[in-house]
C-alpha cells in the first residue's frame, strides 16, 4: 500500500470511531452567532448577570465602603452602573424620557438602602433588555441617539463594554472583602477563594 492509501485508511478508521461514539466531524465545534446583535446581547447578559448578582451579594453594611478615598464606594459604583445603563439604553428602548440620575441624584447613593440601589439597577437592566429587543440586523446601524451619534448597535456595545469594565471593579472590591465574585462561584473550590481566613489570590475573577 502506498503512502496515500495508508493516510486514507487511517482517516477512515478515525472517522468510523468518531461515528461509533456519536461524534460527527462538526459536533462540539463552535457555531457562529445568529446575528451580531445576538452576539453582543449574549455577552451583555453574561456580564450583567454577574454584576447584578454581585450587587445582591455585597453586604449592606459595606455599601458605603471604598478601598481608598479616591475611588467610588460600592453604593456609588452600583449607582454609576445604573446611570450608564439607563443613559445608553433609554432611547433605543423607546422610553419617553431618560430616567433620573442616581449617582448624582437626591438622596446620594451613600444615603440609599441596598434594596433601593439593587432595585434601581434591576430596572436599568430591564431598560437595556428592552433596547436589545428593539434592535435588529435591519436597524442596527441607525443612529442610537447617544454620544457621538453612535449606531444602535454601537450603543449596545458601549453598555456591554462599560458593564465589563465596572464588573472588574466589583471583583476587586469583593476580593478585598474576602468575598468570592459570582463569576468564580460554582467552580468547586475557585482559585483565589479564601480558605481559613486567608487572603484571596489577586487577579482572579
User: Domain segments of the chain: what residues?
Assistant: 44-176
35: left (phi over 0), alpha (psi -120 to 50) or beta: beta
DSSP category for residue 111 = G
**Chain segment 165-182, per-residue pLDDT in tens:** 999 999 999 999 999 999
Mean pLDDT across the chain: 82
Is 189 in contact with 180 (CB distance < 8 Å)?
no
pLDDT mean for each 10 residues of the chain (205 residues):
41 39 46 83 96 98 97 98 96 95 97 98 97 96 83 95 97 97 71 34 40
Report the predicted TM-score, pTM, of the whole model to 2 decimal places: 0.76
Is 92 in contact with 134 (CB distance < 8 Å)?
yes
Q: Which three cell numbers stand for residue 49?
A: 448577570
Q: What is the pLDDT of residue 205?
A: 46
Q: Which three cell numbers stand for residue 46?
A: 453574561
- CATH number for region 44-176: 1.20.120.450
Q: Environment class of residue 153 by beta-carbon count within 10 Å: exposed (0-12), middle (13-18) or buried (19+)?
A: buried
Q: What is the pLDDT of residue 177?
A: 97
Residue with cell 441624584: 105
Residue 148, number of CB atoms within 10 A of its CB: 9
Q: What are phi and psi of 151, to 5 degrees?
A: -70, 165
Q: What are phi and psi of 49, to 5 degrees?
A: -60, -40
Is 51 in contact with 163 (CB distance < 8 Å)?
yes
Is 41 in contact with 132 (CB distance < 8 Å)?
yes
Amino acid at each position: 500500500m502506498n503512502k496515500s492509501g495508508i493516510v486514507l485508511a487511517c482517516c477512515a478508521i478515525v472517522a468510523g470511531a468518531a461515528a461509533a461514539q456519536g461524534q460527527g466531524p462538526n459536533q462540539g465545534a463552535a457555531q457562529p452567532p445568529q446575528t451580531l446583535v445576538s452576539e453582543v446581547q449574549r455577552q451583555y447578559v453574561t456580564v450583567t448577570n454577574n454584576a447584578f448578582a454581585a450587587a445582591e451579594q455585597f453586604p449592606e453594611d459595606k455599601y458605603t465602603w471604598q478601598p481608598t478615598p479616591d475611588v467610588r464606594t460600592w453604593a456609588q459604583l452600583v449607582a454609576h452602573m445604573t446611570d450608564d445603563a439607563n443613559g445608553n439604553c433609554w432611547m433605543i428602548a423607546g422610553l419617553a424620557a431618560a430616567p433620573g440620575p442616581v449617582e448624582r441624584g437626591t438622596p446620594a447613593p451613600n444615603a440609599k438602602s441596598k434594596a433601593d440601589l439593587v432595585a434601581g439597577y434591576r430596572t436599568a437592566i430591564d431598560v437595556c433588555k428592552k433596547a436589545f429587543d428593539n434592535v435588529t440586523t435591519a436597524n442596527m446601524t441607525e443612529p442610537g441617539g447617544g454620544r457621538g451619534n453612535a449606531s444602535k448597535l454601537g450603543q449596545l456595545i458601549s453598555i456591554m463594554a462599560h458593564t465589563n469594565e465596572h464588573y472588574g471593579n466589583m471583583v476587586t472590591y469583593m476580593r478585598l472583602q474576602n468575598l468570592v465574585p459570582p463569576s468564580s462561584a460554582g467552580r468547586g473550590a475557585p482559585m483565589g477563594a479564601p480558605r481559613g481566613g486567608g487572603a484571596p489570590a489577586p487577579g482572579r475573577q
